[in-house]
């Protein structure tokens, strides 16, 4: 949307959800690489119901005689998975005693636009962190666990995220034959998913070992003075052998609060940049964020919901509130795979 003309102060009545959404649109987010590969999916109910699609690996036509009856075939099957989202509720309070943020306006008060912008940026940064961590946890741990009151809820993805056969030797082993190993990986992925893989994720340590492989390194480092040296661009991602290799640097916390690598060492995550499927909620990016519709987001699950509410009347305090809910997901089964022990120390 076009940039708004922001006033210096707003009364509570002027701070509508539409105005606050406009402020959200103007933020420049701190980059979190994995979220570039996530599609939002909206659901029209409070409980999220996901379709897990199972496709047959082998697809051959049946040969019969001219007068024989048709043979019933088993095609794509759908399983239902019910998953409850977790809810994010935060607010920033503005009190009458905050002279820089709040000023008297007739019989009421007005809130500084700078204060609302700062509150929006802070709450959005925290919300995006949670989303970022939830997606990484789902991908790397094959599960996502969150707290709902006194309970820990674990959403398993062990059936959605598979394992590809590890190479006989790590790719950076001096005796390894890297091209046949990658070709075997592509073939196995194609048999499982029906698409050729073109997107791989790894952490920085694994990425450094992979980039150090002579066949990979030679494709990017200048061999003579007249050749361009594009090795600097390999810090975040690079394209080689028909695949975009993405190196993730952001960590995520586990349940104990310890920071974990975005992808475990010597592991790669193999997938496709565009999932092909007639179902619009499945097609597109390989990772999803599913949102539920309810009263707290005004039955609009397409984005986070911002509004204001009165915290206290004496002394006056207004809360700038953010609400969102989601559960991370995979586009469908046999689209995302772990490829383990791909490199070695």
Q: Percent of the chain at pLDDT above 90? A: 53
**CB-based contact 137:146 (threshold 8 Å):** no
Phi, psi of 192 (to 5 degrees): -80, -40
Neighbours of 44 (CB within 10 A): 8
pTM of the prediction?
0.85
From the list 79, 78, 115, the residue with the least C-alpha distance to 96 is 115
- Look up residue 118 and give its two tokens: 């700062």
Which domains are present in the chain?
9-55+78-156+292-329 (3.15.30.10), 161-275+334-339 (3.30.1930)
Cis peptide before 315 (omega within 30 of 0): yes
On the question of pLDDT at 59 being above 70, the answer is no
Torsion, Cα 226 230 232 235, to 10 degrees, reads -160
**CB-based contact 60:286 (threshold 8 Å):** no
Strands (E), the chain: 9-10, 38-42, 48-54, 77-83, 86-95, 102-105, 108-112, 143-148, 151-156, 161-164, 199-203, 237-240, 243-248, 252-253, 259-260, 268-271, 287-291, 305-313, 316-330, 336-339
For 127-157, the pLDDT digits (tens) are: 999 999 999 999 999 998 887 767 778 889 9
CA distance 184 to 189: 9
Please state, in angstroms and as integers, the Cα–Cα distance from residue 344 to each residue in 162, 165, 170, 176, 287, following that order.
21, 16, 6, 12, 28
For 209-250, the pLDDT digits (tens) are: 999 999 998 888 766 667 666 667 788 999 999 999 999 999
- Look up residue 194 and give its two tokens: 């029906």
The sign one gets for the Cα dihedral 240, 159, 172, 231 is: positive
For 258-317, the pLDDT digits (tens) are: 899 999 999 999 999 999 999 998 999 999 999 999 999 999 999 999 998 889 888 888
pLDDT at 8: 66
- Look up residue 109 and give its two tokens: 């008060």
Contacts of 156 (CB under 8 A, 6+ apart): 142, 143
Torsion, Cα 340 270 239 245, to 10 degrees, reads -50
What does the mean pLDDT of the chain come to? 87
Q: How many CA atoms lie within 13 A of 237 on its CB side?
A: 13
pLDDT at 13: 76
- What 3-state class would DSSP assign to 14? helix
Look at 63 and 301; give whichever has higher pLDDT. Answer: 301
Least confident of 25-34, 66-75, 97-106: 25-34
């Amino acid at each position: 949307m076009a940039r708004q003309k922001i006033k210096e102060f707003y009364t509570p009545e002027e701070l509508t959800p539409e105005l606050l959404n406009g402020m959200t649109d103007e933020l420049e987010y701190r980059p979190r690489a994995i979220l570039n590969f996530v599609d939002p999916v909206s659901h029209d109910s409070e409980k999220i119901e996901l379709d897990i699609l199972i496709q047959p690996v082998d697809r051959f036509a049946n040969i019969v005689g001219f007068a024989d009856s048709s043979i019933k075939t088993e095609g794509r099957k759908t399983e239902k998975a019910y998953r409850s989202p977790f809810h994010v509720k935060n607010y920033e309070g503005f009190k009458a005693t905050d002279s820089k943020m709040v000023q008297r306006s007739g019989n009421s008060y007005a809130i500084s636009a700078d204060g609302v912008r700062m509150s929006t940026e802070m709450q959005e940064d925290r919300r995006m962190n949670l989303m970022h961590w939830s997606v990484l946890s789902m991908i790397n741990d094959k599960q996502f666990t969150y707290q709902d009151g006194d309970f820990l809820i674990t959403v398993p993805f062990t059936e959605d995220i598979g394992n590809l056969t590890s190479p006989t030797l790590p790719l950076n082993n001096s005796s390894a034959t890297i091209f046949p190993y990658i070709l075997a990986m592509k073939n196995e992925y194609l048999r499982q998913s029906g698409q050729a893989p073109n997107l791989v994720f790894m952490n920085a340590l694994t990425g450094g070992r992979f980039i150090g492989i002579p066949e990979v390194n030679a494709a990017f480092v200048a061999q003579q003075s007249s050749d361009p040296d594009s090795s600097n661009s390999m810090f975040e991602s690079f394209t080689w052998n028909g695949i975009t290799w993405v190196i993730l640097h952001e960590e995520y916390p586990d349940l104990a609060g310890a920071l974990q690598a975005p992808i475990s060492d010597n592991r790669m995550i193999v997938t496709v940049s565009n999932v092909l499927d007639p179902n619009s909620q499945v097609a597109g990016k390989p990772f999803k964020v599913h949102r539920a519709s309810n009263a707290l987001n005004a039955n609009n699950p397409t984005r986070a919901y911002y509004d204001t509410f009165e915290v206290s009347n004496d002394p006056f305090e207004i809360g700038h509130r953010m609400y969102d809910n989601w559960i991370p997901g995979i586009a469908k089964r046999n689209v995302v795979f772990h490829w383990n022990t791909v490199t070695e120390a």
